[in-house]
Structure 1
Amino acid sequence: MKKTLFELVNEVEDEVTFMVFLQQLSKDREGHADEWQNDSIASFLEAAADWGQASIDGLSHYEKPDNPWKRCAQILYMGKIYE
């Protein structure tokens, strides 16, 4: 069964798994643009940066990972859904 983008972001641990996630993030945008909160690259990057800044010390339901590859993937994933 095909993994969801959320499952893939949580499996990122190194450069190889980050690249797999990044490829699937791109495919998700192509196939499910209507599910994205941010429809331009500028708004996507702004949302990702805003969430990254807001979660720099963790959040009540989010523990910041020690792994920088996973953290970068999570920031990019949130660019899809964060408003």
Structure 2
Amino acid sequence: MNLFEKCNKVDSKDDLIQFIKVLRHDLQDNPDEWENLSLDHFLESIEAWMEDTKDRGYLPVQPEWKSLAAILYMGKIYE
């Protein structure tokens, strides 16, 4: 199961904790697959993705655990 699939299966606080752990290990094991290696770039990408997609319905008005995982995942890949 890839990270995006794991992101979509986050349904609880414990799932989110596990996803963050897997995301961190993915950064350590596969840095060449990450667009944003510094915390500054990671957070900037999260901000940009949320701003660029705020009217597209990707995130619910009332966030769920899965939405928080999606936000973190987008920090990995969004430019």
Q: TM-score, normalised by structure 2?
A: 0.86
* 3-state secondary structure, aligned to 1:44: helix
For the residue of structure 2 that corresponds to 1:72, the secondary structure is: helix
1:79 corresponding residue in structure 2: 75
Gaps of 5+ in 2: none
Q: Which residue of 1 aligns with 2:29?
A: 31
Distance 1:48 1:64 in 2: 13
What is the CA deviation profile of residues 8-58 of structure 1, one whole-angstrom value per residue up to 9, with x for unaligned ones?
A: 100011101111111100000000001100121100111011102222232
Following the alignment from structure 2 to structure 1, what is the Cα–Cα distance between the partners of residues 33 and 12? 27
**Aligned with residue 56 of structure 1, among 54, 57, 78:** 54
| Runs of 4+ off more than 3 Å | none
Alignment-derived partner of residue 42 in structure 2: 44
Stretches of structure 1 that go unaligned for 5 or more consecutive residues are none
Find the aligned partners of 2:17 and 2:63 in 1 and give their Cα distance.
Answer: 15
| Bigger relative contact order (CA 8 A; separation at least 6) | 2
Distance, in Å, in 1 between the alignment partners of 2:14 and 2:37 is: 27
C-alpha separation between the residues in 2 aligned to 1:48 and 1:77?
9
Partner of 2:5, secondary structure, is helix
